[in-house]
Amino acid sequence: MTDALLQVQGLTRYFDVSKPWLNRVIERSEKQFLTATADVSFEIKRGETFALVGESGSGKSTIAKMIVALLEPSAGTIRFDGQTMNFQSSAAMRALRRRFQMIFQDPFASLNPRWHVGDIIAEPIRTFGLLRGAAVMREVGRLLDIVGLSSADAGKFPHEFSGGQRQRIAIARALSSKPEFIVCDEPTSALDVSVQAQILNLMRDLQDEFGLTYLLISHDLSVVRHMSNRIGVLYLGRLVEVADGKKLFTEPQHPYSRMLLDAVPDLALSGRRRAQVQGEIPNPISPPPGCAFHPRCPLAFDRCRAEVPQPTPPPGGEAACFALGRSG
Amino acid sequence: MAEPLLSVRDLVVEFPTRRGTLRAIDRVSFDLKEGEVLGMVGESGAGKSITGAAIIGLIEPPGRIAGGEVRLRGERIDNLPPDRMRRVRGRRIGKVFQDPLTSLNPLYTVARQLTETIRTHLDVNEKEARRRAIALLDRVGIPAAARRIDDYPHHFSGGMRQRVVIALALCAEPELVIADEPTTALDVSVQAQIIDVLKEICAERGAAVMLITHDMGVIAETADRVAVLYAGRLAEIGPVRDVIKEAEHPYTAGLMGSIPTLTQTSDRLVQIPGSMPRLNAIPTGCAFNPRCTKVFDRCRVERPDPIDRGSGRQVACWLYDRAEARHD
Ligand SMILES: Nc1ncnc2c1ncn2[C@@H]1O[C@H](COP(=O)(O)OP(=O)(O)OP(=O)(O)O)[C@@H](O)[C@H]1O
Ligand SMILES: Nc1ncnc2c1ncn2[C@@H]1O[C@H](COP(=O)(O)OP(=O)(O)OP(=O)(O)O)[C@@H](O)[C@H]1O
Ligand code: SF4
Ligand code: SF4
Ligand SMILES: [Mg+2]
Ligand SMILES: [Mg+2]
């Protein structure tokens, strides 16, 4: 057995974005598909935080939803603790579901506004039949305490809380089924920085205490650097680089990773001169052929326009690029 | 001393509601020099946008400026009749908002919007207006500007649209540009391009910029001075380097420590307990006092006004009051 808790292999997801049938017939247009995730493979080790970064539309949430079984992959496999997830068998999925949970970006939308906070947190406990009777509310009180709220808050409604407190409630709920693995999709991007710090510190404390494994999704490179052991960089649905935590920041391999790092405004007042960032993200419905990054890449050459680069493993990480090692 | 370009004194903005009047801006004062970039930061709801809206006379009724004054080169502009304010807005103060679509009319071509604005405010003929519009589009980085100018806003990508908005804000050659979160809706790799363009062109044309953002990194790289707002009040203002490297106000200091950076080495982020109060529950005395680690009796009773700290810095905190220093 390896120490990988999650293994994702060749994960792919298409969305049908065609016009309605009648329009297609009249306009003689083809069906159109958008590739949100293309052939993505990575592993997450037990107890680590693996992060996915990428700009809007790069496919982060699509991957997250497939991993927590909210969305079925078009191709590829997901193995959790050695067991391949079978989207056809609801009994098998149910057994797995208790072991992973998800925290979403918008702490308001993810909490039912008409339920008491106590019931929101208790729901997974009841669904999975983990506890009964008075023990349920005792556990809810304990969870509220862990996330820095109080057991008296169980009787309140979500709207009585601030954004940061609501995210704490969402975390308490995610913890209630005693999961091993939590997928956090932009857990702090709706929060203010002073509150973000509280939540990030809390996530780390909980990881230490309960040995949790995280998949952290964010577009904020500083947050990702602060939290992660390993980082995957996505561009237009493809994983272009996987690197060890801080190494991505000191020795980025892929030209897109370098460009992204260059673009981050720097609080350190180092006065560094940024390289000019080129172009914008292309339309995902008709991505450029070959390496999808080639129209913006300072190192692009003929081969990049024709062939899709596969990940090549340099020590400590991997990147998908034909020009690895060359600087630009 | 030269007269400041913009001078805001004791600005108060109030919103009457069914449950009483909310004071969103409470006696805020600051100056902006010619050609200067002033950053305005603060957490969500701190009053950044309302401050900007008050300066350009865009507070939505029943909200109103309930006190103080705003002067542009010495002339009061907070009490101008609407038609005169509209002229100030287009001609002397340009605006760039977060969502480019709210600043652009979807029914008109970019050419029409630019030339109309130019001809409303400057005495030039149609041909000259078009020539200037194309030159400006070219300058903000729209490829093939002479051709693209006849396109409609929805033909442009998000980043390109924001470039058009910048061109629109600058086409009447204003003295001041108010940019409210101009890049928040854009992707990381595009944000840096937009900020660079905005800053460069304003510098070329000698326009001052009030840059509203919650991103301290952007401020660090872009602004000359920074104003920190908290609960509708000014906590600290001063040269960017001083405020970031040696924040004096306990809130600013906490804020700086809570932001993960690309170079930090510590494992834990500084954490400010609690969150910013709502407008209907601002504590008496110093608005920050329930969250402040340095709070003392006076803070709970008396509100601190900004105290001059030399070299253009002001800090609204009793720790810096002479009378307190004598007590120690
Ligand atoms: N249900 C859907 N139908 C059609 N297209 C979809 C659907 N869900 C996602 N997409 C598309 O798939 C791509 C990836 O979307 P995804 O939400 O995974 O991106 P993301 O990286 O999470 O972006 P963001 O940072 O904006 O949350 C996008 O182009 C998106 O428009
Ligand atoms: N029309 C309104 N009626 C009542 N209160 C309002 C109104 N508009 C704004 N406010 C309040 O004024 C305060 C300041 O709002 P403002 O939009 O200036 O915040 P901000 O600092 O720009 O925040 P953000 O970072 O979220 O944009 C907020 O508490 C807000 O709720
Ligand atoms: S494969 Fe080619 S285009 Fe793609 S990142 Fe590498 S050098 Fe650039
Ligand atoms: S005035 Fe008092 S409460 Fe306010 S910031 Fe200063 S020390 Fe803290
Ligand atoms: Mg997403
Ligand atoms: Mg705002």
Would you call B195 and A163 a contact, using CB atoms and an 8 Å cutoff? no
Contact A265 B160 (CB under 8 A): no
Residues B44, B135 within the same domain: yes
Q: Which residue has the higher pLDDT, A60 or B266?
A: A60
Number of continuous H segments (helices) and E segments (strands) in chain B: 12, 12
DSSP annotation of B89 reads I
Domain A4-99+179-265+277-325: which CATH number of 3.40.220.10, 3.30.1360.70, 3.40.430.10, 3.40.50.300 = 3.40.50.300
pLDDT mean across residues, chain A: 88
CB pairs under 8 A between A and B: 126
At B224 the pLDDT is 96
CA of B8 relative to ligand 4 center, distance in Å: 24
Number of domains comprising chain B? 2
Q: What is the mean pLDDT of residues A247-258?
A: 92
Same domain flag for B182 and B317: no
Contact A193 B159 (CB under 8 A): no
With 90 as the cut, is the pLDDT of residue A50 above it? yes
Higher pLDDT pick, B3 / A215 = A215
Cβ count within 10 A of residue A34: 17
Q: How confident is the model at residue A316 (pLDDT cuts 50, 70, 90)?
A: low
Question: Is the confidence at residue A274, as pLDDT, over 70?
Answer: no
Q: In this complex, do A267 and B261 lie within 8 Å of one another by their Cβ atoms?
A: yes
Distance in Å, alpha carbon of B236 to nearest chain A alpha carbon: 16
Q: State how beta strands A33-45 and A4-16 pair.
A: antiparallel
pLDDT digits (tens, 9 = 90+) for B153-196: 988 888 888 889 999 999 999 999 999 998 887 788 788 888 88
For ligand 1, atom 24, the nearest C-alpha belongs to: A56
- Assess if residue B171 is contained within a domain: yes
- Quick check: B270 pLDDT over 50? yes
Flag whether pLDDT at B280 surpasses 80: yes
* Torsion region of B274: left, alpha or beta (phi above 0 gives left; psi -120 to 50 gives alpha): left
If asked whether residues B200 and B280 sit together in one domain, one would say no
Nearest to A241 by CA among A227, A265, A259: A259
- DSSP helix/strand/coil, B54: helix
Q: How confident is the model at residue A33 (pLDDT cuts 50, 70, 90)?
A: confident
**Is pLDDT at A194 greater than 50 in this prediction?**
yes
* Residue B177, beta-bridge partner list: B94, B209
Q: Do the Cβ atoms of B262 and A249 come within 8 Å?
A: yes
The answer, for A164 touching chain B at a CB cutoff of 8 Å, is yes
| Residue identifier of the C-alpha nearest atom 1 of ligand 4 | B317
Q: Is the predicted pLDDT of residue B30 greater than 90, yes or no?
A: yes
User: What is the Å distance from ligand 6's center to B128 Cα?
Assistant: 36
Average pLDDT over residues B143-160: 89
Is the pLDDT assigned to residue B47 strictly greater than 90? yes
Q: Tell me the mean pLDDT in the region A301-319.
A: 84
φ and ψ at B103, to 5 degrees? -95, -15
High-pLDDT (> 90) share of chain B, %? 67
Claim to verify: residue B187 and residue B131 sit in the same structural domain = yes
Q: Look at A197 and B271 and tell me if their CB atoms are within 8 Å.
A: yes
Q: Is B160 on the interface with A (CB under 8 A)?
A: yes
pLDDT of B21 over the 90 cut = yes
For residue B223, pLDDT over 70 is answered with yes
DSSP sequence for B191-245: HHHHHHHHHHHHHHHT-EEEEE-S-HHHHHHH-SEEEEEETTEEEEEEEHHHHHH
One domain, residues B212 and B274: no
Same domain for B209 and B107: yes
User: Could you tell me if B225 and B257 lie in one domain?
Assistant: no
Residues B179, B301 share a domain: no
Atom of ligand 2 nearest to the CA of B48: 21
**Domain termination residue (choose one: B166, B196, B229):** B229
State the residue for tokens 């001169």.
A273
Q: What digits encode the pLDDT tens for the residues A126-143?
A: 998 899 999 999 999 999
- How far does the centroid of ligand 3 lie from the alpha carbon of residue A67, in Å? 28
pLDDT(A290) > 80: yes
Q: pLDDT value at position A1?
A: 47
Separation of CA B289 and ligand 1 centre (Å): 42
Query: Does residue A218 have its Cβ closer than 6 Å to ligand 1?
Result: no
Q: Where are the domains of chain A?
A: 4-99+179-265+277-325
3-state secondary structure of B158: helix
* Residue in B44, B158, B258 nearest the CB of A197: B258
Same domain, B222 and B125: yes
Region A239-245: what's the mean pLDDT?
94
- Which chain A residues contact residue B191 at CB under 8 A? 263, 265
DSSP class of residue B150 equals T
- Answer yes or no: do B185 and B44 share one domain: yes
Answer whether residue B312 shows pLDDT above 80.
Answer: yes
CB interface of B with A, residues 242-281, below 8 Å: 244-245, 254-264, 267-273, 275-276
Distance from the CA of A46 to the center of ligand 2, in angstroms? 43
Contacts of A204 in chain B (CB under 8 A): 267-268
- The rounded distance, in Å, linking the Cα atoms of B203 and B73 is 19
B242 C-alpha to center of ligand 4: Å?
A: 19
- Portion 105-124 of A in contact with B at CB < 8 A: none
Average pLDDT over residues A103-124: 88
Alpha carbon distance B18, B27 (integer Å): 23
User: Are residues B46 and B94 both part of a single domain?
Assistant: yes
User: Would residue B235 count as lying in a domain?
Assistant: no
Segment A247-251 mean pLDDT: 91
pLDDT value, residue B327: 54
Q: Which of B199, B229, B259 is the last residue of a domain?
A: B229
Give the closest-approach CA distance of A281 to chain B in angstroms.
9
- B25 located within any domain: no
CATH number, domain containing residue B203:
3.40.50.300
Q: Does B17 fall in a domain? A: no
Which residues lie closer than 8 Å to A49 by C-beta, 6 or more apart? Answer: A207, A213, A214, A215, A216, A227, A228, A229, A230
| Tally of CA atoms within 13 A in the half-sphere of A271 that contains its CB | 2
Residue of A nearest to B265 (CA): A226
The domain containing residue B172 runs over which residues?
Answer: 35-61+80-229
Does the residue B102 lie in any domain?
yes
pLDDT at residue B32 tops 70: yes
In a domain, B198, yes or no: yes
pLDDT number for residue A325: 74
Question: Which of B229, B257, B287 marks a domain boundary?
Answer: B229
- Using pLDDT thresholds of 50, 70 and 90, give the confidence band for residue A57: confident
Same domain for B102 and B168, yes or no, is: yes
A267 touches chain B (CB under 8 A): yes
Q: Which residues of B touch A274 (CB under 8 A)?
A: 192, 196
Does any domain span residue B149?
Answer: yes
Nearest CB among B190, B240, B269 relative to A280 is that of B190
Q: What average pLDDT score do residues A311-318 get?
A: 71
Please report the atom of ligand 3 found closest to the CA of residue A305: 3
**Residue B231 CB less than 6 A away from ligand 4:** no
* B262/A192 touch (CB, cutoff 8 Å), yes or no: no
Which of B184, B279, B280, B282 has most ligand 2 atoms within 8 Å of CB, for mutation? B279
